[in-house]
Amino acid sequence: MKNIGLLLPKSSTHPDIGYDFFFGLKAFFSFQTDSNPVFHTANIGFGIDDDLLYSETERMFLEKNADVLVVFADHPKVDKIFPLAAQFGRTIIVLNSGAKYPVDWQAPDFVLFLTLGEMLSAKLAAKKSINLTGIIEGINTTNFYDGGYGIGDGFYLGQESAGGKVVFNFIGKHLEADFDPQPLVDYLSENQGKFLIFSIYTGKILPLFLKAIKGFGSKVTLVCSQAMIQEIVAKEHLQGMSLPEIFAFSSLNPEWKNQGFQPINEYIKNEVKRDVSPFSYLGWDAGEVIMRLSSKINYTWPEKVKQLEDKTIKGSRGNLKFHSKTGHFIGDQYQVRLRDRKLEVSKIELNEVFEEWEKFIETRSQPPQVGWFNTYLCS
């Protein structure tokens, strides 16, 4: 493919997301000796302006002659551009954290989804943590921002499937100056027994939450969202802090900084002179999908779908299997436990993850929608 269009997001809390996935994509093509595409970029802000999404998509197809468009955005706003994919007969690949439900599980023609699988990771984390620890009493903790997405529902589905029950909810403010964890601290101080704390925190508020619960290690296990465990490990929040046992699931092994996919780590460190992030890995995997599509350039869309279904892609995070109904690439998941500051990681095989994805769809056959329109972590 000669021309690749990219619609990059903006974020004040995580300002590097768009650049990270772009450089991850460039890293992939730097290793492809027979492919040297031209990249055309545009910025789409927080992903809430569907008219901007539409006009930039038109521009990429009409003016830049993009063979494929990679867009970092989320439902429901990104859905407005889907008809353009079929009209131009060119593929749109939607990237995001996987933290929101689609409007409809049935994927449109010429549209593919490649995500970090936040909601599925949350369901697996809740289900497995209850089964492994035998603790059924749970506390849901989040803030006004992170709690507005589908990750909390993923936790709920996992709790429900494993026989867990929620005994307390703590929804705090999402700004540092307004964050007050005292209601949570009071509940933990006044109630006996052991609890699983299902937590969704990112950015500057995360260390404040960790500090608030650091004295309750004997009675709680922290069950984290995927973005949360990645930030805890990558930003070394464990340094000098006494924390409870931490449990999570992630589509990217959190040891990626030291033991991750070396081609992408080396390219971004040496050529781009910046840090790698999970979104860099997502960008690389988008390159894998584009290359798979380019080898089938003369196929009809149903033929391309069949080819994607038939062969697993080996990506930077692990294996990727295509789910044709939803248009999603489902990847390996990693079970993560932090005990006494020691990281224990084990891979969940792709077939099990694929089955969990289908159960997820079946349980939420009518995808619920939320009021937050901006792409997760783009705020």
Q: What is the pLDDT of residue 236?
A: 63
Q: What is the pLDDT of residue 1?
A: 77
Task: Give me 169's structure tokens.
Answer: 């909810």
How far, in Å, CA of 22 to CA of 45, rounded?
A: 15
Give mean pLDDT in consecutive 10-residue pieces for the chain, a chain of 379 residues: 94 92 96 92 96 98 97 97 97 97 96 98 98 97 92 96 97 89 96 96 91 90 96 71 89 80 88 92 96 86 94 94 98 93 91 96 92 89
Q: What is the pLDDT of residue 169?
A: 97
Grouping H, G, I as helix, E, B as strand and the rest as coil, residue 48 is coil
Q: Domain residues of the chain, as ranges?
A: 3-117+257-331, 119-250+334-363
Q: What is the pLDDT of residue 261?
A: 78
Residue 255 falls in which region: left (phi positive, over 0), alpha (psi -120 to 50) or beta: alpha
Q: What is the pLDDT of residue 283?
A: 97
Q: What is the pLDDT of residue 187?
A: 97
User: Do 116 and 226 meet the contact criterion of CB atoms below 8 Å apart?
Assistant: yes
DSSP track, 200-215: ---GGGHHHHHHHHGG
Q: What is the pLDDT of residue 258?
A: 67
Q: What is the pLDDT of residue 379?
A: 83
Report the DSSP pairing between strands 3-8 and 38-43. parallel
| Topology (CATH level 3) of domain 3-117+257-331 | Rossmann fold (3.40.50)
In terms of Cβ atoms closer than 10 Å to its own Cβ (0-12, 13-18, 19+), residue 239 is exposed
Task: Give me 40's structure tokens.
Answer: 């055309």
How far, in Å, CA of 35 to CA of 1, rounded?
A: 8
Question: Domain 119-250+334-363, CATH 3.40.50.2300 — does that match?
Answer: yes
> pTM for this structure?
0.95
Listed residue (374, 368, 379) closest to 150, CA to CA: 368
The pairs formed by 216-219 with CB atoms below 8 angstroms and a separation of 24 or more are: 216/188, 216/244, 217/242, 217/243, 217/244, 217/245, 218/244, 219/188, 219/192, 219/193, 219/194, 219/195
* Structure-token match 């390996």, residue found: 332
What letter would DSSP give residue 78?
A: G
Q: What is the pLDDT of residue 218?
A: 87
Judge whether 3-117+257-331 and 119-250+334-363 match in fold: yes
Q: What is the pLDDT of residue 49?
A: 96
